[in-house]
């Protein structure tokens, strides 16, 4: 038995969004907030399917999106995260404030892939293109992936735990093999992730409708003494790479969660 379509295709617009459609969607979400995408189009007077509305909002209309070119720091951060996470664009996007998974995915495919190839690095494996595949010849950089760690951080986001779990299932995320692979990266990666200065610290009267969890890691933190480890960040505290226990301040740092206002 097939699944019913997400919307009645015969009565929905497709293709590029018009300015009027954008305005309707923005106005509706400003008034009612995100969510309930299924019923949103009808309620907002849009002849679009819910998925389309969600995508348009997330990838283009959201007010907290950062526009413009990627910086070199962002480039390097994406490369490093991709080397660990693979094509988990939403996870990568979660660590680049104001960037969307779609944007990063496009940027990867159009720019970074080429950049890595020009460096002689395979964009999928992050290993030198001419490197033999024999496991015996895999280079093990000394402490190349040091991952001091703070339990929690954005792992408190249930979605992150979910994603990490499902990533393991799918085999393309943080599987044990990939975890192992991450320790064998061909270049000296410091995958330390730490909490950045807040965009604004969560207020006492924190309201989920107004504030959204913000990504707390910036590229600069890769070079700093870390307080949050990626393992914990994505919900694999039990991993061998997790070295939370090495950081005495970890638990304290963990309790800090920062939010930035969801500007209307």
Residues that bind DNA (CB under 7 A): 1, 3-4, 6, 9, 13-17, 35-39, 48, 50-52, 54-56, 59-60, 87-91, 101-103, 105-107, 109-111, 158-159, 162-163, 165-166, 169-170, 172
For DNA, the closer of residues 59 and 237 by Cβ is 59
In the complex with DNA, which residue's Cβ is closer, 24 or 148? 24
In eight-state DSSP terms, residue 16 is S
Minimum CB separation from DNA for residue 176, in Å?
16
Tell the smallest beta-carbon distance from residue 194 to DNA (Å).
23
Q: What residues contact residue 258 under an 8 Å CB cut-off, 6+ apart?
A: 195, 196, 198, 199, 200, 201, 202, 214, 216
- Length, in residues, of the chain: 264
Three-class SS of residue 43? helix
Cα(103)–Cα(43) distance, rounded to whole angstroms? Answer: 28
Q: Which is nearer to DNA, 148 or 173 (CB)?
A: 173
| Nearest residue (CB) to DNA, 45 versus 132 | 45
Q: With contact defined as beta carbons under 8 Å apart, do 260 and 199 qualify?
A: yes
Q: 90 or 146, CB closer to DNA?
A: 90
Output phi, psi for 228, to 5 deg. -130, 130
Q: CB of 260 within 8 A of CB of 214?
A: yes
Owner of token pair 């720091």: 73
Q: How far is the CB of 93 from DNA (least distance, A)?
A: 7
How far apart are alpha carbons 28 and 263 in whole angstroms?
A: 15
Q: Closer to DNA by CB, 118 or 134: give it.
A: 118
Of 52 and 254, which has the nearer Cβ to DNA?
Answer: 52
Q: How far is the CB of 132 from DNA (least distance, A)?
A: 25
CA quadruple 4, 10, 14, 19: dihedral positive or negative? negative
Tell me which H or E stretch contains 260: strand 258-261
DSSP 196-227: PPPSEEPPTT--TTTEEE-----GGGGGSPPS
Rounded to a whole number of angstroms, the minimum distance from the CB of residue 164 to DNA is 9
Least distance to DNA, CB of residue 143, Å = 28
Closest contact distance (angstroms) between CB of 128 and DNA is 22
């Amino acid at each position: 038995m097939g699944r019913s379509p997400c919307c009645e295709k015969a009565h929905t617009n497709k293709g590029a969004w018009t300015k009027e459609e954008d305005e309707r969607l923005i106005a509706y979400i400003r008034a009612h907030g995100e969510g309930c995408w299924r019923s949103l189009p009808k309620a907002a007077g849009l002849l679009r399917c819910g998925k389309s509305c969600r995508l348009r909002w997330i990838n283009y209309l959201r007010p907290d999106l950062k526009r413009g070119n990627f910086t070199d720091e962002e480039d390097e951060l994406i490369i490093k995260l991709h080397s660990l996470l693979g094509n988990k664009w939403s996870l990568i996007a979660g660590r680049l404030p104001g960037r969307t998974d779609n944007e990063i995915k496009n940027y990867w495919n159009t720019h970074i892939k080429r950049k890595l190839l020009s460096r002689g690095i395979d964009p999928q494996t992050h290993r030198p293109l001419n490197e033999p595949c024999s496991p015996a010849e895999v280079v093990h950089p000394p402490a190349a992936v040091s991952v001091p760690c703070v339990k929690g951080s954005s792992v408190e986001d249930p979605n992150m735990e979910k994603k990490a779990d499902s990533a393991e299932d799918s085999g393309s995320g943080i599987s044990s093999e990939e975890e192992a692979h991450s320790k064998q990266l061909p270049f000296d990666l410091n995958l330390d992730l730490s909490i950045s200065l807040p965009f604004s610290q969560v207020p006492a009267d924190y309201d989920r409708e107004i504030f959204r969890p913000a990504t707390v890691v910036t590229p600069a933190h890769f070079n700093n003494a870390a307080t949050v480890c990626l393992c914990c960040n994505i919900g694999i505290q039990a991993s061998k790479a997790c070295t939370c226990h090495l950081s005495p301040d970890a638990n304290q740092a963990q309790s800090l969660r920062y939010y930035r206002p969801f500007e209307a």
